[in-house]
Structure 1
Amino acid sequence: MDTRSSVTASLDMLKASRTAADRLGRPLTRDVYATGFSQGGQVAMALGRELSRGRDGFRLRALAPIAGPHDLLGAEMPGIADGRVAPATAVFYLSYFLTAQNRLHPLYADPAEVFRAPYAQAVEGLFDGSHRPEEIAAALPATPQELLTPEWAENVRAPRGALREVLAANDGFCDWKPAAPVRLYAGSGDTDVPIANARSCARDLAGHGVRAKLVDQGADADHTATALRSAPQSVRWFDSLR
């Protein structure tokens, strides 16, 4: 969830793809149709904003983010605090996010400030790149209350200080005016990234005069089902615009 580096990485991939295609005699157009799932949905909106500035020779044609955490401060973190995000998912996300962000921006000097024993001694090692998600989940507790110290449980409920700054730096990527059409995909049954994130994104866009249709995949659509249903729909929508 370091959005700015994800955007630069995406731009690098676009440039590399164009170079490779030229070498293969399969030149690409300048047009970019951007989508992504989960964190990728949030990055798609941020990438779209960067492409809209007209740099690097690309032309944004449409945006279709799927189940993106577009509003960390207003939707995702409150969902973690009030149970709209499933507890086991919240534990995984919090552990991953706080550990990763602390390597970029000092949030704590000692894991014991944030994580309860015995997890304080293990969390950072779990995210060393050598553990599968299933291994990590098995080594973590079932609820955020078991994972976090009381001070950090309150900080998650009402972010302040360095944590609030980090969240704010990765927020607000729907708060602009795309010239290209936008369609948002989400699932009201998603307990990883609640649909409130997509609704917040739609409100931000509306504030700039952009009407983005929100496609709700339904109360029976969890995070994965939202992706499986939305991906082919987004492709068909892109095709209809070409």
Structure 2
Amino acid sequence: MSSANSRLLAKHPTMSDLEHYNPLNDPSLPPFSKNLTWKDIAKRVEAREYWKTKMKTNPGNSRYHHNLAPLHGEVGNTRDEIRHHRMAVEYNPNSSNARNDYGLALYRQGRYDQAEIQLLEAININKENVVAMNNLAAVYCKKGKFSKAQKECERVITLDPNNAMAHRNIAKIFDTLGNTRDAVKHNRIAIQLGPGIQGVTQHADTMTYRNLARQLVARGQTVSGHANAHYDAYRALAYKVNVLPNSQKTKELLIKTKTKF
């Protein structure tokens, strides 16, 4: 790591450090941080120092720990991220949001049993916390508890029928269980609610197009279900080589997909 990179996470990084900092050369950063510019890093360092200063005046303030935790996580410092999430919960055990974020951080580290405990408590505190329910469904999927994951997704959809994430998640569950009919149904809803709207190109939205195309092929609905168009949409959103609908490349990819089912 360069001297600028190594000094970035120091207690008081200088603006010179930040100006010469290149996230691509920093092995300490997780993959999702590689697209951060030095200005992005500077903002996060500034925010981190702000909350650390506030904490000196009131170290028992749960909100300070809650806000500081993700700033550590974004630069790859998962140890302090978890520590501050834990302290946020300790100082305010009745905060559903603090427990949800703690559970999500644990989930990202593969600590699924601990994540489940925090997310269940978050939902117990706030019976309408659909974010925690979606996260709990993801935890259950990782643990192979698909029936429980499905129930959590159904709870979210009951409370918030337009929750695209819940429709995407339950579609993945149905697909895993071999129920492509319902997987197609919920992926179609997810696409109408989320992917492609206002330029949204998040990874989850992008993959929904690909998953739907594959499921349509598996069900023999390549033409009637417009599988080619959905796969081309996936390729466009994923910034792959853009091709026309029903192109030869898309046909080849879908044929390969079909042989995998």
Whether the TM-score (by the shorter chain) exceeds 0.5 is: no
Where is the helix percentage greater, Structure 1 or Structure 2?
2
TM-score normalised by L of structure 1:
0.26
More relative contact order in 1 or in 2 (CA 8 Å, sep 6+)? 1
Higher Cα Rg: structure 1 or 2?
2
